[in-house]
Structure 1
Amino acid sequence: MSKKLARMAQRVQAEARVPALSAALHRADRPLWQVQVGAAGAESRFRIGSVTKTFTAVLVLQARDEGLLDLDDPIGRHLDLPAHGDLPVRRLLSHTSGLQREPYGDVWDTLLAPDADGLLAELDRAERVLPPARRYHYSNLGMSLLGHAVGRLRGGTWAEVLEDRILRPLGLADTTVRPGERAVTGYLVEAYSDHAKPEPPTDFGGVGPAGQLWSTAADMARWAAFLADPAALDPGAGVLAPSTLDEMSWPLTTTDQALWSAGFGLGLILVPQGERVVHVGHDGAMPGFLAGVYGRRPAPAGLGDGTPRAMGCAVLGSSGTAIATVELPHKLLAAAVQDDPAQVPAWTPGEPAPEAYRSVLGRWWGEGFEYVFFWRDGVLRARGVDDPPTRPPAVFAPVPDRPDVLRGVSGREVGELLRLTRDAEGTVVRMHWATYRFTRDQQTFAGD
């Protein structure tokens, strides 16, 4: 399998003409796989560009979970701004704020970015190119504001908070704000010759929270695995709770109205792969560099597609125009699962359903359709009889102090209540799920 993955990387390096390419694949059930092609070594550090935004997004959600901010807060509540302070944090995270893409000025001509104070002071010179919430519009400026807000909330700079709250706890020692001595050179490879021209080194100062970081493929594969399956790499939820990563991975907008091939959550790009498989992460581009960093979300319990725990892939390249670099992580993830799937865990008998729920189990009818309620892995679940096997079931949890009321915690009608009605003997004879009546036989809405 490793030879096949290596050949895929070698072909991209040769055909896309990437001076240095490094790829790594992280999964919980295998040793780290990595390959370097061209002028790259195992410890070579590449610019990862906008993959930086995923770190900034996690810092924002950490602050939310700790009560330091709310996603619906206006950004001006946390930064002293001359304009645009009413834009909600949530809109900035999902690139639906309407704020222009870059800070004021021709920063890509001069390659001189403002420092943090200058970026904030000149915000009144930036435009809202679209009304908030109208549609997706990518904004480095918006993500930069979020990074500086987190720094202010924590009493430090964005870079200091990043090191303290993410890099050190997750052991990402090769991910840094500065390139260091192991940094490779980024190039523009000429279209009609094999000449590679070095791109100038750049420091993006106040725009750093949107694209400043450098890293190795191994570090980024680990980070991608965390984004896809945080419980496997951070079991104590010291960095971020799995439920919060679930929230970040929910699509809030599509990036193309006519072609729903990718979406955006809270700071994460979401790329569906078919059959309920989603890759989460981000691409990155800076002068002379492209990066693709994605994790493969594990399937819900009982619906394994062969994806192992903590699966993440990173491909980093030193050409700014080799688009195949950012396409390769998706292909490597798919090939690894197809040719070397995770082991299927053996089924083992479990405890019986609690007495209180035994009369719930079996077939019920609601809205004219048939459902099956069953007890598995210690929880009550339900699915439509005609649901495809890949559709996750509804999962319920008891509501405290209400013995015959449960709440959906995932799947169909998540968040809604399931109320049980019993006869004189205590048998459940009727249920109401999201207020719809469920009975043992098929009935009209009038109860006939």
Structure 2
Amino acid sequence: MLASTELALLRRVAHEQAVCRAPSLVAAVVRDGQVVWSGARGQVGDARPDDDTQYRLGSITKTMVATAVMRLRDEGALDLNDPLEQHLPGTAFGGATIAQLLSHTSGLTSESPGLWWERTPGADWEALVGSLATGATKLRPGAKFHYSNVGYGVLGELIARKRGSDWLTVLRTEILGPLGMSRTTPHPEGAHAEGFAVHPFADLLLPEPSPDAGAMAPAGQLWSTVTDLGRWTAFLGGQGSGDVLSEDTLAEMRTMVTVDDADNWTTGFGLGLMALRYQGRRLTGHTGSMPGFLAVTLSDPATGTGALVLTNSTGGVGITQLCLDLITTSDELEPAFPAEWLPSTVDPKLLELTGLWHWGPTPYHLRLLPDGCFSLYPADGVGRASRFRPVDSDTWLGLDAYYAGETLTVGRDADGVPNHLDLATFIFTRTPYDPAAPIPGGVDPEGWR
């Protein structure tokens, strides 16, 4: 990036580390699938941390677990609406669906019973599920957002049962390996930061424990580096997903399912991913917190800019706002250029469907997109708009907005010429209320007057 941009970014990082008294802090900006800037302040041992220094990710681990679950869904091994009991029998909360576990709407207790799991050695699955035999469900499944670390311990066991291997091996084989994230591990390896609590009234440090969380590990066990988390940030933002997960599935994970604050929401959850609304942006990612560590990764899919922050402090560092500021500063000082327009290769037979259509008296445009999908939108830009993917020659599936999941069918006259579109019983015609089309309720025989 430009020297002036890098100075502004480093200045923001330096301010956060100094004012919030972080033992060390590393951050990076991601664009076009790679880290384009990184900076560090503070000390790890006797040296400044770098892009290969490991920090604990905490709940960012959940985003990787969710990705493994979505891979199972895409392969047909499960459905998100399946009750847990169908795949992981014998629990006291088997009525919750997989989607509810992913989105923190299962009603499950937030923490595992017993001692604080983040600071004590964890037990195995049998011990965990046994401790949840009574009273584990705190809210009616689906009723509202209720963050549940326990839910992701459950999802880790689900992955293990479906794959016949432990959740961590599955992540290494299916996700971390293909994305080149070799420095993301369950315990620190090589250069790493020690976790500290900072005394609230003195400049003193207290080392924090980092035991293995056992069956709760899928909720927050992993450690990583700027380089590896940069790859993950790019992946979640839709930049270079490779063969791990399709862009459509990533978009599904980013889509809001529930909010966790007031009516004028700023934060919510999709399927394993946080969704944030900030200054007109819609960002996605996750935060992480474990004793001695804070972490965050966020991406703006609209601009392709993402950022990450890692620090070895239990609390007191505004990592989420810092991350948002890094993204905002980058886009303000060096706005990304739009991709150059190029002609696309599309089926010319589809051109006969494009152009002006009417839903009743309201004009709509149907446009053929470069990826072979259609976009249907009001001519004046106000109202319902959706994209559609081909199912067969005359059947299309809604991908987003009001018509997501709905079917659009092309109707043709006796000569095979398209004369109407049937979209979830709504009939679109080339002219308003075309009497030659199957308009529900018919058309007044005297016509327009």
Q: TM-score, normalised by structure 1?
A: 0.87
Is 2:92–2:136's contact at 8 Å kept on the other side of the alignment?
no
How many angstroms apart in 2 are the aligned matches of 1:163 and 1:251? 28
Instruction: State the Cα deviation string for residues 82-106 of structure 1 (Å, max 9, x = none).
Output: 5223322221111111111111113
Which residue in 1 is equivalent to 2:234?
A: 225
What amino acid is the match of 1:437? I
The answer to whether residue 248 in structure 2 is matched with residue 243 in structure 1 is yes
Selected match of 1:294 from 292, 298, 320: 298
The answer to whether residue 16 in structure 2 is matched with residue 12 in structure 1 is yes
Q: Write out aligned runs for 1:45-124 (5 A).
A: 45-107=54-116, 111-124=120-133
What amino acid is the match of 2:31? R
Q: Write out aligned runs for 1:9-408 (5 A).
A: 9-28=13-32, 32-39=36-43, 40-42=48-50, 43-107=52-116, 111-229=120-238, 232-235=239-242, 237=243, 239-273=244-278, 275=280, 277-297=281-301, 299=302, 307-308=303-304, 311-350=305-344, 354-355=348-349, 357-358=351-352, 360-377=353-370, 378-387=372-381, 394-400=386-392, 403-408=393-398
Greater mean deviation of Cα atoms: 96-105 or 186-195:
186-195
Which 5+ residue runs of structure 2 have no aligned equivalent?
A: 434-438
The answer to whether residue 400 in structure 2 is matched with residue 414 in structure 1 is no
Residues 1:324 and 1:373: Cα distance change in structure 2 (over 3 Å): same
Q: CA deviation at 1:355?
A: 4.5
Is 2:373–2:390's contact at 8 Å kept on the other side of the alignment?
no
How many angstroms apart in 2 are the aligned matches of 1:150 and 1:29? 28
Q: CA deviation at 1:280?
A: 1.4
Q: CA deviation at 1:46?
A: 0.9
How many angstroms apart in 1 are the aligned matches of 2:346 and 2:56? 54
Residues 1:424 and 1:211: Cα distance change in structure 2 (over 3 Å): closer
How many angstroms apart in 1 are the aligned matches of 2:81 and 2:218? 20
Residues 1:126 and 1:202: Cα distance change in structure 2 (over 3 Å): farther
Greater mean deviation of Cα atoms: 364-373 or 277-286:
364-373
What amino acid is the match of 1:332? L
Q: CA deviation at 1:22?
A: 0.7
What amino acid is the match of 2:387? V
Is 1:104–1:126's contact at 8 Å kept on the other side of the alignment?
no
Residues 1:52 and 1:29: Cα distance change in structure 2 (over 3 Å): closer
Residues 1:240 and 1:429: Cα distance change in structure 2 (over 3 Å): closer
How many angstroms apart in 2 are the aligned matches of 1:211 and 1:410? 32
What amino acid is the match of 1:435? T
How many angstroms apart in 2 are the aligned matches of 1:98 and 1:376? 41
Instruction: State the Cα deviation string for residues 100-129 of structure 1 (Å, max 9, x = none).
Output: 111111325962432333212322145211
Residues 1:170 and 1:411: Cα distance change in structure 2 (over 3 Å): same
Which residue in 2 is equivalent to 1:303?
A: none
- Alignment identity in percent? 35
How many angstroms apart in 1 are the aligned matches of 2:342 and 2:412? 32
Q: CA deviation at 1:352?
A: 8.0
Instruction: State the Cα deviation string for residues 273-317 of structure 1 (Å, max 9, x = none).
Output: 354x422111111111111112221x3xxxxxxx23xx4321001
Q: TM-score, normalised by structure 2?
A: 0.86
Give the secondary structure class of the aligned counterpart of 1:107: coil
Give the secondary structure class of the aligned counterpart of 1:363: strand
How many angstroms apart in 2 are the aligned matches of 1:30 and 1:59? 22
Q: CA deviation at 1:387?
A: 1.7
Residues 1:110 and 1:351: Cα distance change in structure 2 (over 3 Å): closer
How many angstroms apart in 2 are the aligned matches of 1:246 and 1:130? 28
Give the secondary structure class of the aligned counterpart of 1:267: coil
Residues 1:194 and 1:151: Cα distance change in structure 2 (over 3 Å): same
Instruction: State the Cα deviation string for residues 109-151 of structure 1 (Å, max 9, x = none).
Output: 9624323332123221452111111111111111101102211
Which 5+ residue runs of structure 1 have no aligned equivalent?
A: 300-306
How many angstroms apart in 2 are the aligned matches of 1:193 and 1:320? 15
Give the secondary structure class of the aligned counterpart of 2:113: coil
Instruction: State the Cα deviation string for residues 318-372 of structure 1 (Å, max 9, x = none).
Output: 11112412322222122222222222233334568735543x4333321432212
Is 1:87–1:97's contact at 8 Å kept on the other side of the alignment?
yes
How many angstroms apart in 2 are the aligned matches of 1:145 and 1:183? 29
How many angstroms apart in 1 are the aligned matches of 2:32 and 2:268? 27
Is 1:29–1:342's contact at 8 Å kept on the other side of the alignment?
no
What amino acid is the match of 2:282? V
Q: How many residues align?
A: 428
Is 1:104–1:125's contact at 8 Å kept on the other side of the alignment?
no
Give the secondary structure class of the aligned counterpart of 1:319: coil
What amino acid is the match of 1:24? A
What amino acid is the match of 2:67? V
What amino acid is the match of 2:298? Y
How many angstroms apart in 1 are the aligned matches of 2:218 and 2:107? 19
